[in-house]
Amino acid sequence: MFNLNHIQVRQFFQLKEDEAAKYIELQSIMKSEDIFLNFKAKPLGELTFGQVSQIKRVFMKPTYENLLECFKTVFKVREDKYLNSDIIHYFYALNWIKSQVMALVEKEKMLIPDPDPDLEMAGVKKLNVFGEMATLINLAQKFSTTPMEIEKWNYNVVFTILLYQKLEGEVRRDYNNITKPK
C-alpha cells in the first residue's frame, strides 16, 4: 500500500519534505505503543508540570530538537539510540505521546471556568498573555513558594489542585447566590 523503504529515525529527519510526507501518512494510520527501544514510557501525568507543558508545546510546533527532548523525557532514551531506531517503532511511540497529550488537553477542558460577565468587563482576558505562567503564579502565591518550584511539582498534583480550586469557587459562587437576600 505504501511501498516505503524501511528506514531509521536519522534517515527520516534527513528526507525531503515530499518524501517525509509519505511516512507521515503511514504514521497517521498506525496505532500507538508506550514502549520505545525496550524503554517503557513514563505516564505524562507523573512527569512534572513543567515537563508536561513543554511536551504540549512540542506538539504545537514539532522540530527535530524538541521531539528528541520529548523522547528523552518520556522514554529516558539517549540520542544515539533514538536516531538509530526503526522508524516504525518511533511512530508507535510518537503516536502514544501524541495520544496522551490529546487526552490531557481534553481533561484540562474541565478547568475552563464558567463565563463571568463581571470578570470579562473587568478585563480578565488581559491575563491570557501569561499563559501557563498565570497558573504557576497563582499557585505559588497560594503555597508561599515560587512559580519555578510549582513547575517542578507532579502534573497530576497541580491538575488536582486546579480542579479543586475551580470547583470550590463554583460552589462558593452558587452558595452566595442561594443565600443572597432577596
pTM here? 0.88
pLDDT tens-place string over residues 89-120: 999 999 999 999 999 999 999 998 888 888 88
Strand partners, 35: 40
Cell digits of residue 180: 443572597
Q: Mind listing the pLDDT tens digit for each residue in 14-71? A: 999 999 999 999 999 999 999 999 999 999 999 999 999 999 999 999 999 999 999 9
58 exposed, middle or buried (CB, 10 Å; 0-12, 13-18, 19+)? Answer: buried
